[in-house]
């Protein structure tokens, strides 16, 4: 009798497999894991943005009860000065190596004591003086040090004759858009416990990729990667802010080596703001030319962003100008401006999120000047192949997203004129935006063991940062093996499980799933005697086509309705709808949670988030949750999100990543809705009260259509 095949797990809504652990508080995060004989570290950070440590007096701190010692640039262990990252040399991880100060918040010392309270008290007793040098933290595209950004992600676009096409255009929009520096604001602060045993580093850390963090530590200490073991089982959010080897790990490894005991460093919320990387500010100039019927002739996207001289980084704001719309000529120019700031890092939807705000705002401005519906303008300019390279898309369901979103949102009932809809003193407006985000797969390893009890142990160096990776990979493994999910035991979050891409770039789940599916196929081919365990291991490095003949992207269309009180400047998002094309959806329940969370993050970007730097010191003036505003429950409407039928032919399971696509595009949709409500174009984020507040004279009478900009 043939066994009944297990029902398909992929595509079925299922709650998180670890949900009970989390809601009962029994899931151990990095700071919860007990480690015997542990001591505690407390960071001191620079209060100036540029200069040198003149003197550091730790005598009073060393005399306090429980203090084991103080590490600074004079006595800290030496690290490998040749370390680099994806783009080249990386000075940002070389902590406590010199007296030089490159940014406000740079760690200048670490106090180690028996308890956290003793470490904090001793840190307060350390006296640091500086030789202060002039600093520069203001992003100016015309900055004398500005230079072309790295092209490690691919060349800039330069197709057709942009100048000639603009000259021939019936309508030209040329406007500047700005986004501020933003912090990741994960719920769980960065924490690590590090110890040395038999010349091997062991660590429990909060990060987005245990294997990559272990690689960095190994390079810093000039040891083999196998001599570093990092565990990161449960992570309370990351959004890119935990993708790097954080200061808690670097300083913890130094202190553990120096004092011979496990060292735990849990950094405060203010220290998270000051010492861990953020999304850089951007300044973007969009020029778009079109014929009178709305057909695009030219797109010229020039974007500048801030970075640090310590490390290269790319905030690819111009990528969507190469993907979303057909035009006879497309040119992109990405500029990096070195400033005295902490090196920036990827934040959810890197590049695409600030870039889409500029591009999709400019598209709306073009629709306004053409007296054309914004949805229709976008429909008329859909490409059949990638506009810059001519490469076909592996799948492109953006039109389906727009049509279904417009139907559900009742876009057809929208009055085209701004300030045309009121409810008492409130102005009502609707807006929309489209976006894309690159998809793909990176090398990973996976092992599957067929156990004698009929279960399967799946081991992959994945990281679940709250996205539901455990649940998704359990489903993928079950289907690949042809068994029920109850027979799958998943191991992840451990660098000893093998090489794996981290949770980032919307490539985590696709990369891990690819490895799991291939391991399952190998196991099923090799499985013979079922009376003994059998393990199959694969490394997908040689299986990946890194130059496929098709462009792989995810797409979305986001619709927003806002209310605006012109007398107070208050903007409220009333409705938010997103339609997404992300390939086959592994778990619709968790996928919807992901993209709704992304849209909420985009709402927060649109209306609240802004890191403000004190011009006197260059440090953050609002580096905590009291001053850095993020969307709260009262700010968030009931978000609707859904997926159009899609399948990614380049993936063995048909899936694409969806971590970033929810955030990118949302801020633009809200900004466009604010214009529709008020007639005022918001080109600088966030859309603060003072930017929306109208003079008393403008409030009298009036459903006017006068166009204003801010």
What angle (nearest 5°) sits at the alpha carbon of residue 106, between those of residues 105 and 110? 105
DSSP 239: T
If phi over 0 gives left and psi between -120 and 50 gives alpha, with beta otherwise, what is residue 51? left
Task: Give backbone dihedrals phi and psi of 579, rounded to 5 degrees, phi first.
Answer: -115, 135
Helix 352-370 to helix 666-678 angle (10° resolution) is 30
DSSP 8-state assignment for residue 112? E
Rounded to whole angstroms, the Cα distance separating 74 from 108 reads 10
> CA 468 to CA 454: how far, in whole Å?
25
Distance of alpha carbon 363 from alpha carbon 368, whole angstroms: 9
* Closest to 318 (Cα-Cα) out of 298, 303, 297: 303
Rounded Cα distance, 242 and 273, in Å: 12
Cβ-in-10-Å burial (0-12, 13-18, 19+) of 531 comes to exposed
Question: 553-565 and 570-581 as β-strands: parallel, antiparallel, unpaired?
Answer: antiparallel
Query: Which residues touch 149 (CB under 8 Å, ≥6 apart)?
Result: 305, 314, 315, 334, 335, 336
Q: Give the DSSP letter of residue 578.
A: E
Exposure class string for 474-506: b at 16+ Cβ within 10 A, else e: bbbbbbbbebebebbebbbbbbebbbbbbbbbb
- Alpha carbon 410 to its chain's center: 31
Q: How far apart are CA 91 and CA 88, in angstroms?
A: 10
**Tokens for 234?**
């449960």
**Would you call 660 a catalytic residue per the annotation?**
yes
CB count in 10 Å sphere of residue 343 = 23
d(CA 257, CA 261): 8
DSSP states of 531-593 as a string? Answer: TS-EEEEEEGGGT--SS-SSB-EEEEEEEEEEEEETTTTEEEEEEEEEEEE-BS-S-HHHHHH
d(CA 239, CA 247): 17
106 within 8 A of 262, measured Cβ to Cβ: no
- CA dist 534 → 406, 458, 512, 523, 537 (Å): 52, 12, 21, 8, 10
Number of separate helices (H) and strands (E) present in the chain:
15, 29
- CA of residue 675 relative to chain centroid, distance: 27
3-state helix, strand, coil in the chain (%, to 5): 30, 25, 45
* Distance in angstroms (rounded) separating the CA atoms of residues 36 and 28: 16
Q: Does a cis peptide bond (omega within 30 degrees of 0) precede residue 686? A: yes
Check 365, 660, 694, 709 and give the catalytic one: 660
Judged by DSSP in three states, 329 sits in: strand
**Which residues are known to be catalytic?**
660
């Amino acid at each position: 009798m043939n066994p009944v095949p297990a029902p398909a797990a992929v595509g079925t809504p299922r709650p998180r497999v670890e949900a009970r652990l989390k809601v009962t508080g029994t899931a151990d995060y990095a700071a919860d894991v007990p480690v015997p004989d542990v001591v505690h570290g407390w960071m001191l950070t620079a209060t100036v943005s540029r200069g040198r440590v003149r003197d550091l007096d730790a005598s009073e701190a060393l005399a306090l009860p429980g203090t084991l010692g103080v590490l600074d640039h004079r006595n800290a262990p030496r690290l490998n000065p040749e370390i680099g990252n994806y783009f080249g040399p990386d000075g940002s991880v070389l902590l406590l190596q010199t007296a030089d100060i490159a940014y406000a918040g740079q760690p200048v010392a670490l106090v180690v004591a028996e308890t956290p309270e003793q470490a904090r008290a001793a840190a307060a007793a350390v006296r640091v003086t500086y030789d202060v040098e002039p600093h520069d933290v203001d992003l100016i595209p015309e900055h004398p040090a500005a230079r072309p950004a790295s092209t490690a992600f691919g060349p800039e676009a330069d197709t057709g004759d942009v100048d000639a096409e603009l000259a021939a255009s019936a309508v030209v929009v040329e406007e500047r858009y700005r986004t501020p520096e933003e912090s990741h604001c994960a719920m769980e602060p960065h924490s690590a416990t590090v110890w040395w045993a038999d010349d091997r580093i062991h660590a429990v850390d909060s990060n987005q990729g245990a294997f990559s963090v272990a690689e960095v530590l190994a390079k810093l200490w000039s040891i083999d990667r196998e001599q570093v073991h990092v565990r990161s089982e449960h992570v309370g959010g990351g959004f890119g802010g935990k993708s790097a080897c954080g200061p808690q790990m670097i300083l913890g490894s130094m202190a553990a080596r120096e004092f011979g005991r496990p060292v735990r460093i849990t950094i405060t919320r203010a220290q998270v703001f000051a010492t861990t990387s953020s999304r850089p500010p951007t300044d973007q100039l969009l020029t778009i030319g079109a014929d009178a019927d709305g057909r695009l002739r030219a797109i010229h996207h020039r974007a500048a962003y801030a970075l640090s001289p310590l490390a290269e980084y790319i905030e690819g704001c111009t990528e969507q100008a190469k993907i979303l719309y057909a035009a006879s000529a497309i040119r992109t120019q990405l500029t990096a401006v070195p400033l005295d700031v902490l090196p920036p890092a990827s934040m959810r939807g890197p590049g695409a999120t600030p870039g889409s705000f500029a591009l999709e705002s400019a598209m709306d401005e073009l629709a306004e000047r053409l007296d054309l519906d914004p949805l229709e303008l976008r429909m008329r300019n859909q490409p059949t192949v990638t506009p810059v390279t001519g490469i076909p898309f592996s799948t492109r369901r953006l039109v389906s997203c727009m049509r279904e979103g417009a139907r559900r949102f009742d876009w057809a009932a929208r009055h085209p004129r701004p300030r045309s809809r009121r409810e008492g003193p409130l102005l009502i407006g609707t807006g929309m935006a489209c976006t894309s985000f690159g998809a793909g797969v990176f090398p990973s390893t996976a092992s599957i063991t067929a156990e004698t009890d009929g279960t399967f142990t799946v081991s992959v160096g994945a990281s679940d940062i709250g996205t539901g990776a455990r649940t998704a990979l359990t489903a993928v493994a079950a289907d690949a093996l042809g068994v029920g999910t109850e027979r799958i035991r998943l191991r992840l979050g451990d660098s000893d499980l093998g090489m794996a891409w981290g949770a980032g770039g919307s490539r985590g789940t696709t990369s891990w799933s690819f490895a799991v599916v291939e391991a399952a196929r190998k196991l099923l081919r090799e499985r013979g005697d079922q009376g003994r365990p059998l393990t199959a291991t694969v490394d997908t490095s040689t299986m990946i086509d890194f130059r496929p003949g098709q462009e792989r992207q995810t797409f979305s269309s986001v619709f927003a309705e806002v209310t605006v009180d012109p007398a107070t400047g208050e903007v409220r998002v009333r409705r938010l709808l997103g339609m997404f094309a992300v390939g086959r959806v592994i778990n619709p329940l968790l996928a919807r949670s992901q993209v709704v969370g992304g849209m909420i993050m985009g709402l927060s970007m649109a209306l609240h988030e802004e890191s403000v730097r004190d011009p006197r010191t260059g440090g953050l003036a609002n580096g905590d949750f009291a001053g850095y505003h993020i969307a709260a429950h009262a700010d968030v409407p009931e978000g609707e999100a859904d997926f159009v039928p899609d399948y990614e032919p380049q993936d063995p399971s048909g899936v694409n990543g969806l971590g970033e696509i929810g955030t990118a595009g949302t801020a633009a949709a809200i900004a466009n809705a604010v214009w529709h409500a008020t007639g005022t174009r918001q080109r600088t984020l966030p859309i603060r009260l003072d930017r929306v507040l109208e003079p008393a004279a403008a409030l009298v009478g009036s459903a006017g259509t006068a166009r204003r900009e801010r």
